[in-house]
Amino acid sequence: MSKYSMHLLVCGGTGCHASESDAIVCNLRDELEAKGLMDTVQVIMTGCFGFCEKGPIVKVMPDNTFYVQVKPEDAQTIVEEHVIKGRKVTRLLYKDPVTRESISDSKHMGFFKKQLRIVLRNCGFINPENIDEYIARDGYLALGKVLTEMTPEEVIKEVKASGQRGRGGAGFSTGLKWELARKNQSDEKYVVCNADEGDPGAFMDRSVLEGDPHSVLEAMAICGYSIGAGNGLIYIRAEYPLAIERLKIAINQARENGLLGDNIFGTGFSFDIKLRYGAGAFVCGEETALIHSMEGLRGEPTVKPPFPAESGYNGKPTNVNNVETFAAIPAIILKGAKWFASIGTEKSKGTKVFALAGKINNVGLIEVPMGTTLREVIFEIGGGIRNGKKFKGIQTGGPSGGCLSEKHLDTPIDFDNLIAAGSIMGSGAMIVLDEDDCMVSMAKFFLEFTVEESCGKCAPCRIGNKRLHELLGQICEGKGTLADLDRLKNMSIVIKDTALCGLGQTSPNPVLSMMDNYYDEYVAHVTDKKCPAGQCKSLMEYVINPDNCVGCTACARVCPVNAISGERKEVHHIDPAICIKCGACMEKCKFDAIFIN
């Protein structure tokens, strides 16, 4: 890389890619070519920078200038101004939402300040399609160290000592999992990487695979050496075409460089990796279901024990870890368990990647030390709530998690604290909700997802969740009673206790946590027949304020069902019996005379 004096890093993550970041790369190259600068300035398409809110991102190195919302036609300005004249293009710099000041160095942005990047260490720095860049940043050094200097037992001891817990959701000790897989003797064993990120609103794994695929391959080989497996399988969603493409390239490059395949580093250790595709089933994130899916079957979970460590893929001992879990392993090996264990809280070590989305200013991918509070994540990194609205809640752990309210804002985030607060870490999705979100509708939304995704094998999940969804629907329509609230709670507890797998056991979490934290809102729906957030259509009533109405008839003309009556220049009236609550009148009214009761 030394022959270049400047690098232009363009984000090639799914979000920025969708906003034509590949056209930016082309235009930048064309401009440089035209100016004869191709030999001194290099354009690299990297993985996700994390700051998806303001994508596409272009970062100029070495001065760390961070350009946001770049359009393909901005390429000329960047080259002429920044590259040639050394002047920063102010209009493309990030502006602090509070001070309105332009910030050129990403290190000074609130979004990046509190982050600590271990898993995402290479995302946004290297070209994921070039193995040399990964190697230049100590890539495959950990694998070399493990194969030449450590016994499998020592590797497992190190991983155990790091205190790392599985990032897929359950939080089981990674080292212990490896140890169990090692203990089971067999002629064949498997290392499986769970990249079936089916949790809506989660894009951590995708970003790692798109931005730094080799870190996962390297870790899988390390795991293979530790547990005595020669075969690796990555189970990846078919919905992630870009990640699949980059993985394929990475696997081929690793093979060409002798880092996968037979006799790696001449140590006699052989390990290879194949891809297996998911086909859109949330339950396949559960490890037994995932294994069945890899065997070409319906992805239905089975009772544990036997655990995959005893009998997994093809009945052989199998170790399943999540993408993020694997991606941290090379760093743990190189920097040592002690270093990793020094980060985080007492029982949750290291960092965690979160996908921050919803009603928040800075949507994106973040990595913070365990123990960071929700307040820091939402208001410092996330930049607060969009459009100046009020914070209402944050759903962590996806549809299997819970919704935490204002009172939890100062809770340090770790596995155990989130469970104690009634939610879960899950894979790391965080969806922020504001005052306009109705907590009954939200619970119904999550249950709709669970009902759709339930594999149907066990009755509590198949039937119970369906009933929960129906009850929530009735409440949203104003047909619920107080007794229904008890019913919701009791049924949720039964499902939690009796469902077969992790999906079923956690599916009532949104209902339980939302009823816990927003009980008044549920009561308002059933006793007052009102939706305080104004989201439940059936409970809304559009009313005309006689003080503001001038009788312009605009509302009556736009009403599709003729529910509005009134003479010209006289106060109009909406008939609630006819009104279908489409809101067209409110949009049309120029005098703010129509409001929702």
Partner 1 sequence: MSHIKIELRKEDVDFIKGVCATFNNDPQELINVLHSCQEHFGYLPAEVQEVVSDGLNMPVAKIYGVVTFYSFFTMTPKGKHPISICLGTACYVRGAEKVLEEFKKELGIQVGESTKDNKFSLSSLRCVGACGLAPVVLVGDKTYGRVAPDDVKNILKEYE
Site for partner 1 in 332-361 (CB under 8 A): 355, 357-359
Q: Does 393 bind partner 1 (CB under 8 A)?
A: no
275: tokens are: 């891809």
Contact 515, 506 (CB under 8 A): no
String marking each residue 65-104 x if it binds partner 1 according to CB under 8 A: ----------------------------------------
Q: Does 403 bind partner 1 (CB under 8 A)?
A: no
Stretch binding partner 1 (CB under 8 A), from 22-30, 34-42, 94-102, 393-401:
393-401
Whether the bond into 56 is cis, omega within 30 of 0: yes
CB of residue 232 vs partner 1: minimum separation in angstroms? 16
String marking each residue 4-23 x if it binds partner 1 according to CB under 8 A: ----------xx-xxx----
Question: Under DSSP, is residue 199 helix (H, G, I), strand (E, B) or coil?
Answer: coil
Q: Does 53 bind partner 1 (CB under 8 A)?
A: yes
Q: What angle do CA 538, 540, 545 make, to 5 degrees?
A: 150
Among positions 1, 279, 493, 578, the unique one binding partner 1 when judged by CB under 8 A: 279
String marking each residue 472-511 x if it binds partner 1 according to CB under 8 A: ----------------------------------------
CB of residue 382 vs partner 1: minimum separation in angstroms? 12
Cβ-based neighbour number of residue 548 at 10 Å: 14
CB closer to partner 1, 25 vs 281: 281
Give all strands of the β-sheet with 391-396 in edge-to-edge order: 364-369, 351-358, 429-434, 391-396, 402-404
Question: Under DSSP, is residue 425 helix (H, G, I), strand (E, B) or coil?
Answer: coil
Among positions 38, 297, 494, 580, the unique one binding partner 1 when judged by CB under 8 A: 297
Q: Does 551 bind partner 1 (CB under 8 A)?
A: no
String marking each residue 193-232 x if it binds partner 1 according to CB under 8 A: ----xxxxxxx--xx-------------------------
Site for partner 1 in 238-257 (CB under 8 A): 238-240
Q: Does 378 bind partner 1 (CB under 8 A)?
A: no
d(CA 375, CA 373): 5
The 3 state secondary structure assigned to 124-164 is: CCCCCCCHHHHHHCCCCHHHHHHHHHCCHHHHHHHHHHHCC
d(CA 501, CA 157): 30
CB closer to partner 1, 75 vs 204: 204
Question: Under DSSP, is residue 279 helix (H, G, I), strand (E, B) or coil?
Answer: coil
CA distances to 14, 51, 140, 219, 547 from 364, in Å: 12, 5, 28, 25, 44
d(CA 463, CA 415): 30
Among positions 133, 196, 286, 437, the unique one binding partner 1 when judged by CB under 8 A: 437
Stretch binding partner 1 (CB under 8 A), from 79-87, 184-192, 237-245, 420-428:
237-245
Complete DSSP assignment for 533-596: TS--GGG--EEE-TTT-----HHHHH-TT--EE--TTS--EE-TTT-----HHHHH-SSS-EEE
Q: Does 296 bind partner 1 (CB under 8 A)?
A: yes
> Which positions lie near partner 1, rule CB under 8 A?
14-15, 17-19, 52-53, 55, 197-203, 206-207, 238-240, 276-282, 293-299, 355, 357-359, 363-364, 395, 398-399, 429, 431, 433, 437, 442, 445-446, 449, 452, 455
